[in-house]
Structure 1
Amino acid sequence: MAEFDKVVRGRLVTEDRIIENGFIAIRDGKIQVVGEGVAPAAAEVDDHGDALILPGAIDPQVHSRSQGDQEDFIWSSRAAAAGGVTTIVDMPYDQGKLISTPEMLREKAGEAAEQSRVDFALYATINPLHGASKVAAMAAAGAAAFKFSTFETHPERFPRITTPMLHEAFAAVARTGLIAGVHNENQEVVEAATRAVNASGVTDYRAHGASRPAIAETLAIAEVYEISKSTGARGHIVHCSLGRGYEMAQSYRAQGVDATIEACIHYLVCCEEEDVARLVGKAKCNPPIRPRAEREALWDHLAKGNITVVSTDHVSWSLDRKSSANMLENASGMPGLEVMGALLLDGLVERGLPLTHAARLLSGNPARLFRIADRKGVLAPGADADIAVYVDRPRVYDAAASGHNVVGWSPYEGRTIRHKVVATYLRGELVFDGSEVLAEPGRGEWIKPRLPLALDQAAE
């Protein structure tokens, strides 16, 4: 009788090295042995030759329910599986429901468990009407993190949290040990800049960047980290488009603040002159995609280790909400789950950077950020056997062609992407074979963070 259920072979990419001719031995959905050379006997052997074997990605920012009756976990998790993403962390701003009570969180988790093909964790938030009073209870119920915004996208679905209330919320989150993530744009600056853009008559692709100038982002970042310093909370910027933001995060870390910061893949891949000008509404997001110089600054910070995690900020708006000739009328956000890992690997290769960055930014760091590193994010004994396999197989990307996306558009369509996921394993089970998503809805599990003992006991 074979000692292991499965062995997966290939070039293993970990956070600190690449193991040539490596193998992973799996039993009961867990990694048991990681090694090089001759592998132990197993009931199944999946030999991927010289393909890259990475830990399954953890996408720190997914919006599965921003548009009702559109995507949901059925489709977001399908795109995730096809993209080597084995855990999605979903945001709390669902259409018609701000996930701001323990009951709402548990209800969403139950529905996601019936739909999701990959594992998932959930952000929670607060409703300005009841402030921070429910933070501890939501942490005890299983929230992986808390999300707030310094800008009001919508008064009910995506409200602004004022500075005094943000301080109160950070203090409450600090006691849970979870992160306090913030959408980082200053309300007053954006409102004034938007009025100026409207008065100018500019409506093309340039309007969006002009309506959200860099200072709106950096002022909000400073507010977040100053409140983190005051309260002891783990302050996290959920998307930063500016090199200056990563400089600020590093500076606050040097002062002892637990300051983390996230780069969306579109900020690393796209720029205003080349992509927003061409794609217009399809490339609209908040904060905006910046000029080429900022994109290159982000790669410099990535090389220096100043970026904590890479995400998609994935949302699949229907095309009618991304097609207005007036840039400011389009919805903000874009899909990316199917290609995030491939695009990051492409960028690392193009710039001669170590592939180990991908294991750290897509898997190890997100697992630590959300306190799930006891089982997720690494190729190591004891961890869930979540694995993504990539090969160098250039193709022109067509989001509609794979059938794994609820929408047929993408900001990356028409782009040549070199890396391709040919296999995704979730807890040792093949859930994507390079062509078809094999996992049925309901395969995914709700992943909860490890909490301080007092909160763990409160959840029992």
Structure 2
Amino acid sequence: MEKYDLVVRGKMVREDQVTLGQIGVKDGKIAVIESPDAVLVADKVLDFANAYVFPGTIDVHVHCFSNPNEGFIPTSMSAAAGGITTFLDMPYDLPNPISNVEIFEKKVKQLEQEAVVDICLWGTISKTNGTDQIVPLAEAGAVAFKMSTFETDAYRFPRIPDPEIIKAMELIKETGLRAAFHSENDEIIVDMIEEYKQANKVYPKAHNETRPPVTETSAVLKLMEFAYWTGVKLHIVHVSHPRTIDLINAFKAQGVQVTSETCYPYLLLDVNALDQFGPKAKNNPPLREPEEVAGLWKHLQDGNIELISSDHAPWGAEHKNPGNDNIFKAASGLPGVEIMTPLMFAATVAKGTMTPVQFAKVMAQHPAEVFQIPGKGKIAVGYDADFAVIDPDQTWVIDETRFRSHSKMSPFHGQEVKGKVIQTIVRGTTVYDGEEVTVEPGFGSFVPGSAYKGAAVGGRNH
């Protein structure tokens, strides 16, 4: 009789159904899936009874290094505690964005030494004359390319001019990867912020008022038209408004390959959180009106939004608190990897507004499919044994002071959550036992993108 390294028992959330059963794991992969009464022999058995065994969450939108005080160790430990088994780290690092192969490969080496979960890396391009790095970055293992139509910083987070976007899209199409965009209309926003500052309108909701919905929808419209003519696969990050999804649906009907994500704050908060929490609730694009949030939920439930991400941005009080008297001085972004999965579970499966199967699709399967990450995203034979185990009966309270991230500031502080991550398993190894992270930095692995040509570093398990 075959012996497995691990047997996992519980309510397995598979691609099309939830079944009580057991999973036999060998060499980090799912070797067999059996009924509860099958006899499986293993070195270790984990019986989760009636808890859900989900495929591990894949968070496609994480910023480990926008704040140099963070980095892979705190973020990946937070991710492990939040049921995330793989995340995609964004390329807008300090001091240097990931816009050439040398910087990319240095980051891969650091990842292999420090990660606790598996990580893919985004690439980007410099503001001008950077498109020659696209193919080399793809071959070095970049999972996709992130660009912006809004400028946070001319070097680190630039607005890419239209001619460069077209060039980039044509090259990215050749790699088969996705071109993703932070889509906001820079000219309108910069102008409005200037007006507001001059009038001393610097109250929290001014952040929303200076980034009205048209600043998102107009930027997305332009990018989709570019994608129509170049044929690139396009991804719109952090969609905050339902009209954006209406436009995406219209372009999908014309054959444009466009996908989208929204982030947990756009579903769980609205613009009133800016008044309530101030800089803690400041993110880009901003939180929207309650009826607009309801529109996003409807799109999510109708299957029009492929996936949910965190846009984890680990700003500490030193970056957020300057905005207490002037919202424009606060850094934009919220921490999220530690709380997104349980918060979204509580808001969907626990309330009966989404089935466990639908939840697994937006949190794991679709991220893996959209970004072509092989062997991850679902519970199936041959796939990596990556699981997020959630006990639907446990309630707990979010405590920002205990976050593993550098960022100890969340508008969700003090919120009671129904459903707790009781175990996170990466490639058959428990990385979080419900209380503590149980592996050392360096356990996590670099997961190369689909255009990878096998460079000298990384890809231990691939």
TM-score class normalised by the smaller sequence: over 0.9
Residue 366 (structure 2) aligns with = 365
Unmatched segments (≥5 aa) in structure 2: 458-462
CA change 1:457–1:441 in 2 (3 A) is closer
Residue 381 (structure 1) aligns with = 381
* Amino acid of the structure 1 residue aligned with 2:386: D
Are the equivalent residues in 1 in contact too, given 2:184–2:285 (CA < 8 A)?
A: yes
CA change 1:29–1:457 in 2 (3 A) is closer
Task: Pick the aligned partner of 1:276 from 262, 274, 277.
Answer: 274
Matched positions, count: 452
Q: State how far apart, in whole Å, the 2-side matches of 1:14 and 1:196 are.
A: 52
3-state SS of paired residue (2:131)? coil
Shift of 1:351: 5.1
Are the equivalent residues in 2 in contact too, given 1:399–1:405 (CA < 8 A)?
A: no
3-state SS of paired residue (1:79)? helix
Q: State how far apart, in whole Å, the 2-side matches of 1:151 and 1:408 are.
A: 27
1:62 maps onto 2:62 in alignment = yes
Are the equivalent residues in 1 in contact too, given 2:315–2:406 (CA < 8 A)?
A: no
3-state SS of paired residue (1:124)? coil
Q: State how far apart, in whole Å, the 2-side matches of 1:432 and 1:156 are.
A: 37
CA change 1:458–1:339 in 2 (3 A) is closer
Shift of 1:335: 0.3
Q: State how far apart, in whole Å, the 2-side matches of 1:457 and 1:81 are.
A: 27
Q: State how far apart, in whole Å, the 1-side matches of 2:404 and 2:105 are.
A: 27
Q: State how far apart, in whole Å, the 1-side matches of 2:444 and 2:129 are.
A: 32
Residue 74 (structure 1) aligns with = 73
Shift of 1:15: 3.3
Residue 250 (structure 1) aligns with = 249
Moved over 4 A (4+): 457-460
Q: What aligned pairs does 1:26-425 form with structure 2 within 5 A after superposition?
A: 26-39=25-38, 40-68=40-68, 70-273=69-272, 275-323=273-321, 324-325=323-324, 326-348=326-348, 349-350=350-351, 352-372=353-373, 374-392=374-392, 393-401=394-402, 404-425=404-425
CA change 1:51–1:351 in 2 (3 A) is closer
Q: State how far apart, in whole Å, the 2-side matches of 1:435 and 1:93 are.
A: 31
* Amino acid of the structure 2 residue aligned with 1:23: Q
Q: State how far apart, in whole Å, the 2-side matches of 1:200 and 1:244 are.
A: 30
Q: State how far apart, in whole Å, the 1-side matches of 2:234 and 2:455 are.
A: 24
| 1:250-302 Cα distance to aligned partner (Å, 9 max, x none) | 111111111000101111111112x2221110111100011111211111011
Residue 18 (structure 1) aligns with = 18
Q: State how far apart, in whole Å, the 2-side matches of 1:457 and 1:412 are.
A: 42
Are the equivalent residues in 2 in contact too, given 1:61–1:313 (CA < 8 A)?
A: yes
Q: State how far apart, in whole Å, the 2-side matches of 1:60 and 1:343 are.
A: 17
Alignment RMSD: 1.6
Shift of 1:400: 1.9
> 154-163 or 403-412: which moved more?
403-412
> 204-213 or 127-136: which moved more?
127-136
3-state SS of paired residue (1:408)? coil
| 1:89-136 Cα distance to aligned partner (Å, 9 max, x none) | 000101110110111111111111111100100000001242311100
Q: State how far apart, in whole Å, the 1-side matches of 2:456 and 2:359 are.
A: 34
| 1:24-55 Cα distance to aligned partner (Å, 9 max, x none) | 11011100112332242222110001001100
Shift of 1:202: 1.8
Q: State how far apart, in whole Å, the 2-side matches of 1:67 and 1:166 are.
A: 26
Shift of 1:223: 1.2
Residue 434 (structure 1) aligns with = 434
Q: TM-score, normalised by structure 1?
A: 0.95
Q: TM-score, normalised by structure 2?
A: 0.95
Are the equivalent residues in 2 in contact too, given 1:140–1:459 (CA < 8 A)?
A: no
3-state SS of paired residue (1:328)? helix
Are the equivalent residues in 1 in contact too, given 2:21–2:36 (CA < 8 A)?
A: yes
> 152-161 or 28-37: which moved more?
28-37
* Amino acid of the structure 1 residue aligned with 2:138: A
3-state SS of paired residue (1:88)? strand
Q: State how far apart, in whole Å, the 2-side matches of 1:335 and 1:457 are.
A: 33
Shift of 1:419: 1.4
3-state SS of paired residue (2:157)? coil
Shift of 1:411: 2.3
Q: State how far apart, in whole Å, the 2-side matches of 1:407 and 1:352 are.
A: 31
| 1:355-412 Cα distance to aligned partner (Å, 9 max, x none) | 222211111111112211x2111100111100010013112210223x5233322221
Residue 453 (structure 2) aligns with = 456
Are the equivalent residues in 1 in contact too, given 2:127–2:155 (CA < 8 A)?
A: no
Are the equivalent residues in 2 in contact too, given 1:197–1:210 (CA < 8 A)?
A: no
